[in-house]
Structure 1
Amino acid sequence: MKLKLFLLALIAVVGTAAFYVIKGPNLQKKNPDAGLTMQEIKIRDEAAQENWAYSLGVQAYVYGLPLKITERERRLRLNERKLNFVMEREICPCAPINQFGHMKKLATADDSLPYTPNNDTVYSGALIELRDEPLVVTLPDVMDRYWSAQIADSYLENVTYLGSRATGGKGGNFLFVGPDWHGKVPEGMTLIRIPTYSGVIALRYGIEKDAPNEMQKIYDIQKQVATTNLSFWDQKDGFGKIKPIHMERKDYDGDLAFFEQMADLLNEYPPRDHLKASVGMFQSIGIELGKPFNQDLLHPATIRGLKRALADMTDIMTWKVKYRGTAFPTGWNNLHQGTYGYHFINRAEGALEGLLVHNREEGVYFSTYEDRDANLLDGSERYVLHFEKDQIPQLQDKGFWSLTMYGTNFQLVGNEINRYSIGDRNKDLQYNDDGSLTIYIQATEPEGKTSNWLPSPPDGLFRINYRIYLPNEKTRNPDTLLQFIPGIKKVSYNEGI
């Protein structure tokens, strides 16, 4: 009897499985061309080939986008006229390759920066090239404020950190070398190996906005930041000397210029060893390590698929940047940290919108276009963000948090009190009697609540970024951070707030 019941159950399971197999594509079909004319077969097969190329083209674009953005920054620094223009106007913390550029103020609504700027730290930055020789980077000790040196490779993926958390605020002399350098490290230097021959160093120095002489203190720190070619290090008067970088860069045009340039950049700056195999699937669309892209070798159907992919990528990346990272039920999206592994879409969105993204230990970032009920944030409405006492972020030493207002162009929003962000460093922030905190988000000044007001644009879509620098384990852990990201609540105009 038991055997009979077992056989009946087995038949039922097999029957159910067979049902689902029959409903899917019939992979067992022996003659898929039966009943079709030669022309119909050709049309069907070329459509399939085009779709396959389309899917690979989308993935290749995502994979190569960070390299393209790094190349944009490299070409800017190789063009003296453009570089001088952006340096004079402080459009970015830019300088010639292997030198630091320094911003002299916090970002404001008057700036138009090539990334989503914060209003919390003063930026310095350097694009480094290590193919010819190593570079010595000298940074001062900074113990009285938050600071970090975020170091990334050509793919804008984090390599390591220096700063308040990573080195206890200590600076020093750091020898940056490429992947194949095997020389002797001078005494007293710390070796930092970059897995590609180029990289990025993003320096951030925290500032107390309401404290006196803060910018002068930042200037004094910036004056102590230096770069020196290793060959000059032991020379008299060699400190701070840099050899000019001259690099020939090819111009690209045509419908598939993106893929042609991507192939060249992959060969110039190969991916990290453990990621090289991930490029293998792009061979059938003409992208292969060690080889140039040659459109003439591609089938017309493949070319059509790649053109379609390029045509769709603006919309795809616009969607992905808007809803970056992991969505939480309170309406916030937690951005993926800047060590991406095989999450190439997260790497691409991070490079496109923010250039660089912190690792969780350094900072957790959230963004939203929506209130807690999944309605888009509208400047014509009023909102509140309420933190119960135990929802206020928990921090490490020198940590802080902020909420920053952005327009749809990822730039800061102008307002009558020139307040672009609000957080725990605002000295006049008013907490409720029970230790909770309410932030008022609206275009018009809330009566009696100015100290807790984050001004929004008068109408249209806006976005808020929520940054927590140096969060503790509970605040940064994806399993527990929901406690610290309450949803934004819409408040009607006839409802008291």
Structure 2
Amino acid sequence: MGKTDLAALQAAARDAWLFTLPLVEIATTRARGLANGSPMNVFGHMRRLADHNARAVTTPNNDTFYSTAQVDLSQGPVTINVPATGERYFSLALMDAYTNNFAILGTRTTGPDGGTFTLVGPTDAADGPSVVRSPTNHVWALARILVDGPHDVEGAKAVQHGLSMQGPAADAPGPFAHRGAPWAEYFATAAQLMGLNPPQVQDRAFLAGMAPLGLADFDPSRFSPEEAAAIEAGVAEARAAARKGGLSGAGFTGGWSYPSARLGDFAQDYGLRASVAVSGLAALPPAEAMYMRAEGDLKGALFDGTKAWRLHFPADGHLPVNSFWSLSLYEATPDGQFFFTENPLARYAIGDRTQGLVTGPDGALDIWIGHADPGGERTANWLPAPAGPFALFMRAYLPKTELLEGGYRLPPVVSA
């Protein structure tokens, strides 16, 4: 092959790796669930709030219980029963195999009274007012159920007990390679997963550029050493690209990065989709929850935990939300993922529902962040950090229009 062909092959490998990364990440998540005894087409319930031991999904939250089901619609529809949730925040995100949220059932959309819904695959003939159609046969159903403190655990569990799924038995596909696998194994897995979950018609233009890789009938043995090197170079480019962007968008405004309007329903933004699969798998769309990341003093928007930091909300400047907000602190892994860090308070997030939070006489709120206890009255508002680098993410559930449209901006995190 000539240089031009090698360049095209490298670009095809880069684009194909990014395009298929969400498929591989969901397959990896599914394999973990199966290993833990969760069968297909059945909800599994996580009845503990995530802490520093939670390492299955990057950027977990410490506000909700999760209920999760990996769904295969190839054998027919499944029925989902959603219980009445009243004033409690609840969302059931339905993600296709490429991590797009094609439907969300819950507080914002279907209301507080619950209901019974039929989830059907892309070629199923079913139709009706309670039918939800998936673009792919593989679906990840992920519910978030607000736990409003220790006193509310049993109430949240009661909601979980009322959430159920009925449908045909399904065998889990696999086994599959993971994100870090060599390129030949990775693309063999990607080809299989694309066969099980064909891309949408609106992806055709992008897929055409991936043609030199031959994913439709993938055979790694046909590539020469020079071609293999070009593929490896393309994959290296893709890995670097996937570590950028993600939940926090492209840049910072006033000390915070705000999410793309495409978050959680990515259309043809394949780069963003891949980045989020690494740094914020299963992120919700902004209308459901906005994820903002604070700009730190270290490379990669990280903060130095040995320093003291402060986030100040004036009395008239609290977050405009219809549900709740929560500031989470994470340590970063070398591959760009984020997990809670162990600390003396066992506090992983702080927000408007935190017990014992102290506000000033005028209603202003200060949050103190760092490795060292700020002492005195400030300890009540302390978000502990590791001695090393950390990241801060703000979640705003059911944001009001002024936050969604940029009329409200968060105050910056500054040195204390």
Above 0.5 in TM-score? yes
User: What is the CA-CA distance between 1:326 and the residue it aligns to?
Assistant: 3.2
Aligned: 1:192 with 2:117: no
Quick one: distance in 1 between partners of 2:26 and 2:305? 34
2:51 aligns with 108
Q: 1:316 aligns with which of 217, 241, 247?
A: 241
Give 5+ residue unaligned stretches, structure 2: none
2:36 aligns with 83
Aligned: 1:135 with 2:62: no
Q: 1:215 aligns with which of 115, 139, 153?
A: 153
Q: 1:402 aligns with which of 291, 308, 326?
A: 326
Q: Secondary structure at the match of 1:195?
A: coil
Q: 2:166 aligns with which of 217, 220, 228?
A: 228
Matched ranges for 1:43-442 at <5 A: 46-77=2-33, 82-84=35-37, 95-183=38-126, 190-210=130-150, 212=151, 214-229=152-167, 243-245=169-171, 247=173, 249=175, 255-287=183-215, 291-298=216-223, 300-321=225-246, 324-336=248-260, 337-368=263-294, 370-371=296-297, 376-396=302-322, 399-409=323-333, 410-442=338-370
**1:30-53 CA distance string (max 9 Å, x none):** xxxxxxxxxxxxxxx734433332
Aligned: 1:461 with 2:382: no
For the aligned residue pairs, the C-alpha RMSD in angstroms reads: 2.5
Q: Secondary structure at the match of 1:160?
A: strand
Quick one: distance in 2 between partners of 1:172 and 1:375? 42
1:488 aligns with 413
Q: 1:470 to 1:301 in 2, by over 3 A?
A: same
Partner AA of 1:480 in structure 2: G
Quick one: distance in 1 between partners of 2:46 and 2:53? 14
Partner AA of 2:384 in structure 1: P
Give 5+ residue unaligned stretches, structure 1: 1-44, 85-94, 230-241, 492-497
1:92 aligns with none
Q: 1:442 to 1:137 in 2, by over 3 A?
A: same
Quick one: distance in 2 between partners of 1:277 and 1:373? 36
User: What is the CA-CA distance between 1:254 and the residue it aligns to?
Assistant: 6.1
Q: Secondary structure at the match of 1:327?
A: coil
Q: TM-score, normalised by structure 1?
A: 0.76
The structure with the larger Rg is 1
Quick one: distance in 2 between partners of 1:462 and 1:226? 37
Q: Secondary structure at the match of 1:122?
A: strand
Quick one: distance in 2 between partners of 1:113 and 1:74? 10
Q: Secondary structure at the match of 2:111?
A: coil
Partner AA of 2:147 in structure 1: I
Quick one: distance in 2 between partners of 1:138 and 1:293? 40
Quick one: distance in 1 between partners of 2:105 and 2:127? 22
Q: 2:381 aligns with which of 434, 452, 455?
A: 452
The answer to whether the 8 A contact 1:148-1:161 is kept is: yes
Quick one: distance in 2 between partners of 1:47 and 1:373? 35
User: What is the CA-CA distance between 1:434 and the residue it aligns to?
Assistant: 3.1
The answer to whether the 8 A contact 1:47-1:301 is kept is: no
Query: Quick check: 359-368 or 193-202, which moved more?
Result: 359-368
Quick one: distance in 2 between partners of 1:375 and 1:327? 10
Quick one: distance in 2 between partners of 1:377 and 1:332? 13
Q: Secondary structure at the match of 2:85?
A: coil
Q: Secondary structure at the match of 1:417?
A: coil
Quick one: distance in 1 between partners of 2:182 and 2:145? 42
User: What is the CA-CA distance between 1:407 and the residue it aligns to?
Assistant: 0.6
Q: Secondary structure at the match of 1:462?
A: strand
Partner AA of 2:159 in structure 1: I
Quick one: distance in 1 between partners of 2:218 and 2:250? 35
**1:5-62 CA distance string (max 9 Å, x none):** xxxxxxxxxxxxxxxxxxxxxxxxxxxxxxxxxxxxxxxx734433332222112111
Q: 1:490 to 1:200 in 2, by over 3 A?
A: same
Quick one: distance in 2 between partners of 1:319 and 1:248? 29
Quick one: distance in 2 between partners of 1:405 and 1:193? 36
Partner AA of 1:138 in structure 2: N
User: What is the CA-CA distance between 1:389 and the residue it aligns to?
Assistant: 2.9
The answer to whether the 8 A contact 1:369-1:461 is kept is: no
User: What is the CA-CA distance between 1:221 and the residue it aligns to?
Assistant: 1.5
**1:113-155 CA distance string (max 9 Å, x none):** 3322101111111110000111001110101311111111000
Q: 1:373 to 1:329 in 2, by over 3 A?
A: farther
User: What is the CA-CA distance between 1:339 and the residue it aligns to?
Assistant: 0.8
User: What is the CA-CA distance between 1:296 and the residue it aligns to?
Assistant: 4.1
Count of residues in Structure 1 that have an aligned counterpart in Structure 2:
407
Q: TM-score, normalised by structure 2?
A: 0.90
Quick one: distance in 1 between partners of 2:244 and 2:224? 30
Query: Quick check: 291-300 or 358-367, which moved more?
Result: 291-300
Q: Percent identity over the alignment?
A: 27
User: What is the CA-CA distance between 1:205 and the residue it aligns to?
Assistant: 0.5
Partner AA of 2:385 in structure 1: S
Quick one: distance in 2 between partners of 1:251 and 1:456? 34
Quick one: distance in 2 between partners of 1:433 and 1:373? 37
Quick one: distance in 1 between partners of 2:137 and 2:239? 29
**1:170-207 CA distance string (max 9 Å, x none):** 2111101000111466xxx7100001011111100111
Q: Secondary structure at the match of 1:284?
A: helix
The answer to whether the 8 A contact 1:176-1:191 is kept is: yes
Quick one: distance in 2 between partners of 1:386 and 1:77? 40
The answer to whether the 8 A contact 2:28-2:176 is kept is: no
